[in-house]
Chains A and B, each alone.
Chain A
């Protein structure tokens, strides 16, 4: 379980995150929706310390996660999956996955290409999990885009994390491959009991795969509920000025909107009052 409290970040005086509070349970698949520039990526990067946050606290399974102090040779409880997978193209698939287990490995032995058997076994298990065992010794750039992202998932899984953060994991994939990749992610989330926070920009995937959807707009959480509460009005509030008459077709609302009360939007304030 991960608990985010009062996460704030601004760039050059411009606030990007204005105090994010979020709680994701183990085995919960949370989708974050929001327009470009809403702070989705910044939020994930602040959680795992790639970008230092200005304020806020991250608590993972009851312990405070400090990315700076976590650097000392222990596997981190937070793993990340990137939009363009960020594999090292000229390394083999297996070594790319071993990156997930590298914290705490001997530098000298790994430079000699010698790795602990236990870590190699875990890496192979993770590769098995995304069903690409036969590609273990292929070079990463010989794989298709979807396969590369599955390796990205395996690398994150190899960390044995409590939380996996996904930053637009399917943004550069075709619809069919996107579903396959999101399918693996969701299955892993459920079976391994990992909390997943997944940024997406496709509303239809969010409704299809998300168990819970958080709408981020202007650096604030404006919606936080199950997909069946995501109505056309809410979508318009997450994406102000959206002109897409087709968006209603992908939504499956079963109840009225329940907007988060800390939104500045007068409509939302009225709705929650």
Chain B
């Protein structure tokens, strides 16, 4: 019969096994605290299963006739996503230049722009959409602006990081040839970052298509409005059609976008 033995590297810290034990207890306590706060409850989940089933049954079969009313808002979502992405690129491009450590004119400017980008990215699209709906009124343009601002925060960070990763040797060649800053950027930096930038833009487009489908819930245009109203009217078969259409939109953009991204070399 084969025998077994425990192979463990003893903790290297000052407090040995006691330290490890205390740390383990602290982590367990922290997770318990979070579970209590979020009212995680297995009984509730179990008791809820029949209702979930009921909901599923009432969604079946999806109502194909509802597509008639759905394709317009679905296309609107797509339009919002496209212009949300483009505006995001337009806003982030000039900012990103100052947020790249190696190209920023001054460390203070670099840190400041980084924080601006963090703030833009820190606010959720739905919250931004609520603000813009209040500011400029109901409709898809509020959604475009919400996606643009949040997206610009993310795009700017990624654009800047791509510029930080470039090979700076060629830039020295531009400097020693006396080419000015614009030409150095255009022929020295841009060719190096273009693949990464395009990849980021298409990734953002994917995210924006996903996000644009829920913007309608707060009145910022698109298919999300139909989703919420069908649920409020207890038309669950219409809701099911909505969900399927959203799923199709997201899957198709993901597929197209990943194709495009793999084509860029």
A: which residues have CB within 8 A of B?
48-50, 70-71, 73-76, 78-80, 82, 84, 86-91, 95, 99-103, 105, 107, 110-111, 152, 155, 159
> Please, which residues of chain B bring their CB within 8 A of the CB of A48?
176
> Please, which residues of chain B bring their CB within 8 A of the CB of A78?
176
> Please, which residues of chain B bring their CB within 8 A of the CB of A84?
169
Besides A79-B176, A103-B177, A103-B178, 4 other A-B contacts (C-beta < 8 A) = A91-B187, A91-B191, A102-B183, A102-B187
A158: min CB distance to chain B, Å: 8
> Please, which residues of chain A bring their CB within 8 A of the CB of B175?
50
Contact check, B180 vs A73: say whether CB atoms are below 8 A apart: yes
B163-182 interface code vs A (CB 8 A; 1 in, 0 out): 00001011011111111101
Contact check, A70 vs B178: say whether CB atoms are below 8 A apart: yes
> Please, which residues of chain A bring their CB within 8 A of the CB of B192?
88-90
Contact check, B174 vs A99: say whether CB atoms are below 8 A apart: yes
Contact check, A82 vs B172: say whether CB atoms are below 8 A apart: yes
> Please, which residues of chain A bring their CB within 8 A of the CB of B170?
86-88
A60: min CB distance to chain B, Å: 14
Q: Which of B44-66 contact A (CB under 8 A)?
A: none
Does B194 belong to the interface (CB within 8 Å)?
Answer: yes
> Please, which residues of chain A bring their CB within 8 A of the CB of B169?
82, 84, 86
Q: List the count of A-B residue pairs having beta carbons below 8 Å apart.
A: 79
Contact check, A102 vs B176: say whether CB atoms are below 8 A apart: no
Does B4 belong to the interface (CB within 8 Å)?
Answer: no
> Please, which residues of chain B bring their CB within 8 A of the CB of A152?
173
Majority-rule SS of A interface residues: loop
Question: Given that A71-B178, A90-B192 are contacting pairs, would A107 and B173 also be in contact in the complex, using a CB cutoff of 8 Å?
Answer: no
> Please, which residues of chain A bring their CB within 8 A of the CB of B30?
none
Contact check, B172 vs A102: say whether CB atoms are below 8 A apart: no
Does B188 belong to the interface (CB within 8 Å)?
Answer: yes
Does B186 belong to the interface (CB within 8 Å)?
Answer: yes
Of A76, A88, A90, A107, the contact of B177 (CB 8 Å cutoff): A76
Bound-state CA distance A78–B170 (Å) is 17
A90: min CB distance to chain B, Å: 4
Question: Given that A90-B192, A91-B191, A110-B186 are contacting pairs, would A50 and B177 also be in contact in the complex, using a CB cutoff of 8 Å?
Answer: no
B234: min CB distance to chain A, Å: 57
Bound-state CA distance A71–B178 (Å) is 6
Question: Given that A71-B178, A75-B178, A90-B194 are contacting pairs, would A82 and B183 also be in contact in the complex, using a CB cutoff of 8 Å?
Answer: no
Bound-state CA distance A165–B174 (Å) is 15
List 27 A–B pairs whose Cβ atoms lie within 8 Å, in order of A's numbering: A50-B172, A73-B180, A74-B178, A76-B178, A78-B176, A79-B176, A80-B172, A80-B176, A84-B169, A86-B170, A88-B170, A88-B188, A88-B192, A89-B167, A90-B192, A99-B179, A99-B188, A100-B177, A102-B178, A102-B180, A102-B183, A102-B187, A103-B178, A107-B180, A107-B183, A111-B182, A111-B186
Bound-state CA distance A101–B178 (Å) is 9
Q: Which of B176, B188, B191 has the most CB of A within 10 A?
A: B176
| B181 nearest CB neighbor, chain A only | A107
Contact check, A102 vs B179: say whether CB atoms are below 8 A apart: yes
Bound-state CA distance A100–B173 (Å) is 8
Contact check, A99 vs B178: say whether CB atoms are below 8 A apart: no
Of A76, A79, A82, A107, the contact of B182 (CB 8 Å cutoff): A107
> Please, which residues of chain B bring their CB within 8 A of the CB of A86?
169-170, 172-173
Q: Which of B175, B177, B187 has the most CB of A within 10 A?
A: B177
> Please, which residues of chain B bring their CB within 8 A of the CB of A105?
179, 183
Contact check, A110 vs B177: say whether CB atoms are below 8 A apart: no
| A161 nearest CB neighbor, chain B only | B177
> Please, which residues of chain B bring their CB within 8 A of the CB of A79?
176-177
